[in-house]
Structure 1
Amino acid sequence: MCHRFEMVSGEEADAVLDWLRAVRRALASGAGAATVVPPAFGRPVDAPFDALDCYPGAESSVIVMEGERVEGDLVSDGEGGSFAGDCGGDLARIDLLWGVDVSWKRGLVFNARIESALSGSGLWSDAVEGGRCIVPVRAFYETRNVENAASVGAGAALVEDAPFGASDPAELTRGAVADVEQGILGLDGNPAASASRRPRGRKSQYRFSNAGGTALLLAGLRLGDRFVLVTCEPDAVVGHVHSRMPLSLTAPEALAWLDRSTDARDLLARHVPVPLESQEEPAPTKRPADPDQMSLF
């Protein structure tokens, strides 16, 4: 589960916002998303810890669609799908806190399983219909919970055994540990399996970033002044390290995700993983002061 990501600055988030607006116009005109050059952000050097890393309980910029969308013609997204073009609703950047409080558990819930969100029930049912957001980040981190590529399937089965594009709600929730995806500070979806994998010392973390050097567009769900990241089964790159990953979208997919009229199930059925690159890094030695941001190691 993702409990740490590398933020973009407010200025950089505005650049991502302008990029998505330009992609939206390009799609509406038929030019295609590839005609718009995305902003690229190098990894900052000697930046303060709290200026980079976001943990649950901290504030981050997210992108939302404000206003009501009006009906319009569908246009090609340039990737074999269709997208409702520039036909109402404005993109905006706002600052939200990562993680939500729930009455039935201690700590913050900060990840939402896409399988649970699409099942139409539980904590995320309203948010997936009217609270979708995009979290622009430089990178996200995962701590290894699988030992090798062969164990990826077994690790994923600990938290789900439904296919990513399943259409039957019963199939989507079959085998799920809870409505939230391991997203409670200090807890794991399967305590017994987690204990068997937990080392005595800290495990290294892996940093995942866009192979093209551009910002990652992570799918999120907004609940009031807070948000959670949406997670899915891992791609081949993340799957060597962890059994889950944040749902990272292309620019056309991100615009479709923000459009409340888009059927999220159809969008995800066409989803193609964003090319990622990984880099092993030591776990950070400095810890957030907020107790809600306690370590998961």
Structure 2
Amino acid sequence: MCGRYALTVEPDSLFGVFQAVPDERSGGAQGLYGGDPVRPRYNIGPTVTVPVVRLRVDRASDGADRADGGESGQSRPVRELEPMRWGLVPSWAKDVSVGNRMFNARAESLADKPAFRTALHRRRCLIPATGYYEWQKLPQADGGATRTGAAEGRKAPAKQPYYLTPQDGSTMAFAGLWEYWRSPEGEPLVSMTIITTEAVGALREIHDRMPLILPASEWDAWLDSEVDPATLLSPPDAALVDALEIRPVGPAVGNVRNDDPALVERDPHPAVAGPGGDRGTVVGTGAADTAPPALFDNPA
């Protein structure tokens, strides 16, 4: 699953990374967090407003997700960065709270779920991220179990958190779906969900699920409603996973109110040996050294 992630790059840089334009509501980078101050986000949780990439809707057309191409009447897709609430609220929902539990959507069952079925074919999006967190459930220890090293004497936690981020500092994109909802009072809301899939490679040692991370080469196809989504819902290629750093971090990330750079710093005394058997910063299998370039787009 994916219940916390980080987006620490300058919002202005996202327009270049994703070759996108501002939407009318946000008015640019200052509005990408729904009016909240623009700053690095180290602990994003469900129900908050975040930047999302989608194709601009041509409201003068038949409702397809396309943009106006000019006097000729021809249309072309235009990527747009828009603030959306994390936690998809279906158009038929009676209350916004429905979205509180729809922050993830399983790739394997999207076509069968009424909340996601239509969005899968017509309203796909990309969620920019610089990293995400996952918790590894630890074997139950004796009551006197402790962490090692400098942390000796502290009770062993039930889970070890990890921060997963591209080794080259790139911004990555999660596959997502978005939806438009209007409250009984007439207030509009645009919301999204992050698609999850079966974990790949070393990530399986942490959790059996992971967000569906799309390489830059698949961004256009994912956003294009003319492309069959079934061709893009497979778990990521091993080379992409090997391009991620798997970093053990401290327990403070478990409180969504904490939001500072210390959350992504390596924990020198993790509760358990991470993937590969190391304590400390853990990376993939090494295949990333020979992987094709541009798995992710770099914000530089």
TM-score, structure 2 length as denominator?
Answer: 0.57
Matched with 2:237 is 272
Q: Distance in 2 between matches of 1:66 and 1:49?
A: 25
CA offsets 1:135-192 (integer angstroms, 9 cap, x no match): 1100011001376xxxxxxxxxxxxxxxxxxxxxxxxxxxxxxxxxxxxxxxxxxxxx
How far apart in 1 are the matches of 2:236 and 2:218? 8
Match of 1:126 in 2: 118
- Any conservation in 1 of the 2:4–2:44 contact (CA below 8 Å)? yes
Say which of 32, 35, 41 aligns to 1:51: 41
Which residue of the partner structure matches residue 5 of structure 1?
Answer: 5
State the shift of 1:278 in Å.
0.5
2:165 to 209, 216, 219: 209
Higher deviation after alignment, 267-276 or 98-107: 98-107
1:106 Cα deviation after fit:
9.2
The unaligned stretches of length 5 or more in structure 2 are 22-37, 58-64, 68-74, 140-154, 181-189, 258-300
Q: What secondary structure, in the 3-state scheme, does the structure 2 residue paired with 1:237 have?
A: helix
The equivalent residue for 1:14 is 15
CA shift at 1:237, angstroms? 2.5
1:66 is the counterpart of 2:56: yes
Q: Distance in 2 between matches of 1:249 and 1:204?
A: 26
Equivalence for 1:99: 87
Alignment-mate amino acid for residue 251 of structure 1? A
Give the partner amino acid of 2:166.
Answer: N
What secondary structure does 2:109 align onto? helix
Q: CA–CA distance in 1 between the matches of 2:162 and 2:237?
A: 22
Is the 8 Å Cα contact of residues 179 and 192 (structure 2) preserved in structure 1? yes
1:160-239 equivalences under 5 Å are 201-224=157-180, 225-239=190-204
The 2-side partners of 1:201 and 1:88 are apart by 52
Corresponding letter in the other structure for 2:43: D
- In the alignment, structure 1 residue 89 sits paired with structure 2 residue 54: no
Greater Rg, structure 1 or structure 2? 2
Using a 3 Å threshold, how does the CA distance of structure 1 residues 269 and 202 change in structure 2: closer, same or farther?
A: closer
* Aligned residue in 2 for 1:110: 103
Residues of 1 paired with 2:212 and 2:254: CA distance?
Answer: 27
The answer as to whether partners of 2:3 and 2:46 remain within 8 angstroms in 1 is yes
Question: What is the SS of the residue equivalent to 1:11?
Answer: helix
Structure 1 residues 223 and 106: alpha-carbon distance in aligned structure 2, compared to 1, 3 A threshold: closer
Counterpart position of 2:211: 246
TM-superposed deviation, 1:58: 1.0
Q: C-alpha displacement at 1:266, in angstroms?
A: 1.7
Amino acid in the other structure paired with 2:6: E
CA distance in 2, matches of 1:285, 1:270: 26
Matched AA of 1:91? R
- AA of the residue aligned to 1:213: G
Give the CA deviation at 1:105. Answer: 6.7
* TM norm structure 1: 0.58
SS of the residue 2:125 aligns to:
strand
Within 1, Cα distance between the matches of 2:49 and 2:234? 31
Q: What SS does structure 2 have at the residue aligned with 1:115? A: helix
Deviations 1:10-37 (A, max 9, x none): 213223222x79xxxxxxxxxxxxxxxx
Structure 1 window deviating more from structure 2 (233-242 vs 95-104): it is 95-104
- Partner of 2:85, secondary structure, is strand
Higher helix proportion (structure 1 or 2) = 1
State the alpha-carbon separation in 2 of the partners of residues 146 and 255 from structure 1.
39
User: Could you tell me whether the CA contact under 8 Å between 1:138 and 1:215 is conserved in 2?
Assistant: yes
Conserved? CA contact 2:197–2:235, under 8 Å: no
**Are 1:133 and 1:258, in contact at CA under 8 Å, matched by a contact in 2?**
yes
For residues 24-59 of structure 1, give each alpha carbon's deviation from its aligned partner in whole angstroms, at most 9, with x where no partner exists: xxxxxxxxxxxxxxxxxxxxxxxx997322100111
Q: Which amino acid in the other structure matches residue 209 of structure 2? A: R
Select the structure with the greater relative contact order (CA < 8 A; seq sep ≥ 6).
1
Over 3 Å counting, the alpha-carbon distance change for 1:271 and 1:52 in structure 2 is closer
- Identity between Structure 1 and Structure 2 (%): 24
